């Protein structure tokens, strides 16, 4: 059975009517490269770089980071590797950063907010990424974006980092795609404006769900409310997909929902171009993609988005048709 699944995984994921869906892996570091390759990931849709920081006793140096990014890029070249910049704060604590306690850490000084306020930490990572870009197909992704200014500030810092590397005579790829995560409801609502500033977008359903439904992703007491298939979450995803299509940029999904094969048809119907998930979900999701007709999925998705009143109805309508 294992062998059959791997043979299936090796094939491309193309819908019955010919739409190519990229099926990528989420990774947390070089240790996840082999399982992703074994399961025939066509690239990396989310490299959560915070693990490099969480597993360390102190801030990882530019050289340490460069080595880790390079290793991943080389392993997947020429396929894309989307590396997300540091996402700490929220539930991710970093002892040596001595982050002050916050009343509402998930609404607090997290991810891009922290990085923009600590340019020396952010730039160390950006320089490591720029240097590593020569060794593969790097795409840089920013977490927790909620306004255009955050993108513009990051672009300025990237230019400063390039100038620093020029001074050091170190080379980098000039055309690295820059993208953002859509994981805050505000970002989905203004996705048309954000899409104009970036080369790609990727939906983080784990945070998008908790923020949309005001249900902490780690709190068991509200777990019954936390459902990524809730129509409110799906309508926000729909907004972001439409904005990406209008702007002509690719849109993916790297939250847990991307690996839920019961929802693959709906995700294709929403217009997602890429799905990124833990490696062991890849073979089955690819299989599901091949069984799906994009045009049919699109019509059914439109209907579900207007009629379903909760996540259960969404799931039911996908299993009965």
Write out the binding residues: 48, 84, 183, 206-207, 217
Q: Establish whether 115 is a catalytic residue.
A: no
| 70 binds, options ligand PEP, Mg ion, none, Cβ within 5 to 8 A by partner type | none
Smallest separation (angstroms) from Mg ion to the CB of 297: 26
Residue 81 β-bridge partners: 44, 138
Retrieve residue 139's tokens: 């795409």
Show Cβ contacts of residue 44 under 8 Å, excluding neighbours closer than 6 positions: 24, 25, 26, 27, 36, 72, 76, 79, 80, 81, 82, 83, 276
For the chain, counts of helices (H) and of strands (E): 15, 8
Smallest separation (angstroms) from ligand PEP to the CB of 87: 6
Residue 206 sits in the site that holds ligand PEP (CB under 6 A)? yes
- Residue 155 has phi, psi (to 5 degrees) of -60, -40
Map residues 33-52 to x or -, x wherever contact with ligand PEP holds by CB under 6 A: -------------x-x----
Q: What's the DSSP call for residue 79?
A: S
Q: Which is nearer to ligand PEP, 48 or 286 (CB)?
A: 48
* Helix pair 231-247, 294-307: axis angle to 10 deg: 130
Residue 183 sits in the site that holds Mg ion (CB under 5 A)? yes
Active-site residue (options: 123, 161, 241, 254) = 254
Residue 204 sits in the site that holds Mg ion (CB under 5 A)? yes
Annotated binding site for phosphoenolpyruvate: 48, 84, 206-207, 217
What one-character-per-residue DSSP string does 108-174 give?
A: SS-HHHHHHH-HHHHHHHHHHHHHHGGGSEEEEEESS--SHHHHHHHHHHHHHHHHHHHHTT----T
Residue 207 sits in the site that holds Mg ion (CB under 5 A)? yes
Residue 146 sits in the site that holds Mg ion (CB under 5 A)? no
Neighbours of 268 (CB within 10 A): 24
> CB under 6 A: which stretch of 59-67, 100-108, 203-211, 308-316 binds ligand PEP?
203-211
Do the Cβ atoms of 250 and 273 come closer than 8 Å? yes
| 110 binds, options ligand PEP, Mg ion, none, Cβ within 5 to 8 A by partner type | none
| 150 binds, options ligand PEP, Mg ion, none, Cβ within 5 to 8 A by partner type | none
Q: Which is nearer to ligand PEP, 106 or 172 (CB)?
A: 106
Distances (CA, A) of 289 to 87, 263, 297: 30, 10, 11
Q: Which is nearer to ligand PEP, 46 or 289 (CB)?
A: 46
Footprint of Mg ion (CB under 5 A): 183, 204, 207
Residues catalogued as catalytic = 254
Footprint of ligand PEP (CB under 6 A): 46, 48, 87, 183, 204-207, 254-255
């Amino acid at each position: 059975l294992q062998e059959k699944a791997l043979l299936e995984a090796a094939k491309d994921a193309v819908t019955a009517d010919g739409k190519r869906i990229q099926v990528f892996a989420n990774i947390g570091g070089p240790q996840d490269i082999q399982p992703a390759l074994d399961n025939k990931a066509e690239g990396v849709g989310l490299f959560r770089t915070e693990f490099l920081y969480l597993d360390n006793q102190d801030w990882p140096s530019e050289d340490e980071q460069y080595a880790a990014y390079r290793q991943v890029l080389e392993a997947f070249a020429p396929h894309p590797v989307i590396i997300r910049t540091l996402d700490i704060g929220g539930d991710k604590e970093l002892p040596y950063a001595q982050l002050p306690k916050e009343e509402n850490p998930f609404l607090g000084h997290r991810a891009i907010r922290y990085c923009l306020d600590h340019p020396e930490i952010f730039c160390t990572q950006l320089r490591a990424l720029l240097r590593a870009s020569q060794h593969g197909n790097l795409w840089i992704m920013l977490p927790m974006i909620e306004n255009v200014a955050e993108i513009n500030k990051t672009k300025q810092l990237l230019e400063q980092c390039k100038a620093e590397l020029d001074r050091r005579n170190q080379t980098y790829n000039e055309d690295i795609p820059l993208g953002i995560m859509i994981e805050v409801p505000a970002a989905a609502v203004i996705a048309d404006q954000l899409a104009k500033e970036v080369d790609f977008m990727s939906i983080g359903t784990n945070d998008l769900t908790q923020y949309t439904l005001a249900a902490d992703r780690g709190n068991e007491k509200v777990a019954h409310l936390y459902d990524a298939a809730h129509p409110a979450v799906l309508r926000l995803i729909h907004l972001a997909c439409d904005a990406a299509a209008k702007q002509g940029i690719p849109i993916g999904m790297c939250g847990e929902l991307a690996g839920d094969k019961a929802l693959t048809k709906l995700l294709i119907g929403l217009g997602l171009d890429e799905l990124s998930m833990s490696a062991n979900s890849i073979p089955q999701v690819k299989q599901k993609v091949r069984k799906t007709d994009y045009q049919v999925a699109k019509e059914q998705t439109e209907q579900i988005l207007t009629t379903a009143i909760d996540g259960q109805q969404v799931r039911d309508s996908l299993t009965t048709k």
